[in-house]
A and B are shown apart, each in its own frame.
Chain A
């Protein structure tokens, strides 16, 4: 009896997501103690409305990071994709076609990140630092500093339509989470991703096309970043050139808080969902507690470092538990 209990405890402690989950629960309790309104219907609605935008970006970053690469350009694509939609619509292209074209363009730009990184063999950190600056510059250039008008012809309901206290975006987030979880944990491609990020030499030796695996994840990551940008733009009914500024850092923070290793080969989808919740809840809770907004960055910084320390420490301990 004691044996199985210990065994279960060890299994639980070895879960990648465990430290982020504990932190999330603690944070919720603390904010609830500070302000009971924190768990009110309205506020929960507010949180659930902003989470998908970070969460979807972070899921893409997670997948790519597991495959062993980085993407810093997600925040810029987050702004670029909706701006392109506005641009296409203002050129007289059908709104739905405009959305499809802009998403395809995001996919293509992800392919470009991948191609430059893999073909020239340079670190993706450098490639995507470059494209981050390029696409942000392009956004500013296109908008000329002025947000282009948001067309009322755009069908926004399928992405951000209201359903009680929820918006449709939470369903998209849930759907994407389930899909990516499935791909990562239950398909051969997921196994190739872990292998590619975990030991590229071994993966190649076993006949896995690691370049293809990485390229697909670069494209997925950019597509999701663009898609999340469209969600935010549709929610706010505007296309601000400043959208998604600093989002790459939040997405990476959500990813590593959730237990994904910066070095690749290790990570979970659920952890990143928890990490995204944690970041947006800290954001919202600080507002509810009337703390000055700059505390947000301080807390995210602390949460990131703490999560990784906890993760390492807890796993170390759990491994030594013999049962």
Chain B
């Protein structure tokens, strides 16, 4: 079987102690595509992308990434293949600087002494400012603590980080939750920037109106099942809304 997509998830099932969170979901993401994943709270959106990012194994079903079948046993493995997931609350360490957050776990080193690596701070400063400029985020200094940034700016830092480390797929789980209209608009800009660089993304929201403007394709989940999968030109907000409300 030929696989032309970056991600193919086939017939995914997941149970949580008797509760069926996903039943037979097929899900794909094309190269450079922005996929909007929508559905009510509890529909199974987070569970689906946690399977894709290595948090849980699926109980049934197969995952293909760049045409190769994958069995992730940890988020680390998925990340090494280029799948970067941004959870709102878990993306950043608020008290740490922007620079230290960007390079957290993947620090640039000048040299190593035994188990320790001596940080190349000038290069990390320079590179983090460059990475931020690429998403058009202008900060005074790479040493500003993340908790002094707005929610939208934090998403920007996380996306800049994903770009810097050459991710192939960026997953954003409810990135616009608790953000003002203006801030949400910035997040959409960041996602457009990803697309410009040819990076695929999955944008999850329970709010169709947040996803619709940027998505190339929209996938609708309901009670653990996929009930819709549309290219944007073939559908309308009304059609999807009807679908989401009906069952």
Listed in ascending order, the chain A residues whose CB lies under 8 Å from chain B are 183, 186-192, 194-195, 198-199, 201-208, 261, 265-266, 319
Contacts and interface: CB of A to CB of B under 8 A. Distances in A.
A208 B104 contact: yes
Nearest to A183: B116
A124 to B, nearest CB: 20
B80 to A, nearest CB: 8
Contact of B104 (A187, A189, A206, A266): A206
A265 B85 CA distance: 23
A208 B94 CA distance: 16
Given A194-B96, A198-B95, A201-B89, A189 B116 contact: yes
A186 B118 contact: yes
B117 A188 contact: yes
B96 A195 contact: yes
Contacts of A186: 118-119, 121
19 contacts: A188-B107, A188-B109, A189-B115, A189-B117, A190-B119, A191-B96, A191-B119, A192-B104, A194-B96, A195-B93, A195-B96, A199-B90, A202-B104, A203-B93, A206-B79, A207-B75, A207-B105, A207-B106, A266-B95
A192 B118 contact: no
B90 A187 contact: no
Contacts of A205: 75, 85, 87, 90-91
Given A189-B115, A205-B87, A265 B104 contact: no
B103 interface: yes
Interface of B: 75-76, 79, 85, 87, 89-96, 100, 103-107, 109, 115-119, 121, 148
A206 B148 contact: no
A265 B146 CA distance: 13
Given A198-B96, A202-B90, A266-B95, A191 B79 contact: no
Task: Give 5 nearest A-B pairs by CB, closest first.
Answer: A206-B105, A198-B93, A188-B107, A188-B117, A199-B93
B175 to A, nearest CB: 15
B105 A192 contact: yes
B104 A203 contact: yes
Given A191-B107, A206-B105, A208-B104, 20 more contacts: A186-B121, A187-B118, A191-B100, A192-B104, A192-B105, A194-B96, A194-B100, A195-B93, A195-B96, A195-B104, A198-B94, A199-B90, A202-B90, A202-B91, A202-B93, A203-B93, A205-B85, A205-B87, A207-B79, A265-B96
Contacts of B105: 192, 195, 203, 206-208
B76 A202 contact: no
Contacts of A195: 93, 96, 100, 104-105
A194 B119 contact: no
Contacts, number: 75
Contacts of A319: 148
A207 B121 CA distance: 20
B138 to A, nearest CB: 17
Contacts of B96: 191, 194-195, 198, 265
A261 B116 CA distance: 25
B94 A188 contact: no
Contacts of A192: 104-105
A183 B116 CA distance: 8
Contact of B93 (A183, A187, A207, A265): A265
**Residue among B75, B87, B96 with max Cβ neighbours from chain A (10 Å):** B96
A199 to B, nearest CB: 4
A265 B75 CA distance: 23
A15 to B, nearest CB: 13
Contacts of B90: 199, 201-202, 205
A265 to B, nearest CB: 5
Nearest to A216: B115
Nearest to B115: A189
B116 A191 contact: no
User: Of residues A189, A199, A206, which shows the largest number of chain B Cβ atoms within 10 Å of its Cβ?
Assistant: A206
A317 to B, nearest CB: 15
B119 A187 contact: yes
Contacts of B107: 188, 191
A76 to B, nearest CB: 28
Contact of A188 (B76, B93, B119, B148): B119
B123 to A, nearest CB: 13
A272 B126 CA distance: 31
Contacts of B118: 186-187
Contacts of A201: 89-90
B117 A187 contact: yes
B104 A191 contact: yes
Contacts of A191: 96, 100, 103-104, 107, 119
A250 to B, nearest CB: 26
A16 to B, nearest CB: 11
Contacts of B117: 187-189
In the complex, which of the residues B105, B106, B118, B119 has the most CB atoms of chain A within 10 Å of its own CB atom? Answer: B105
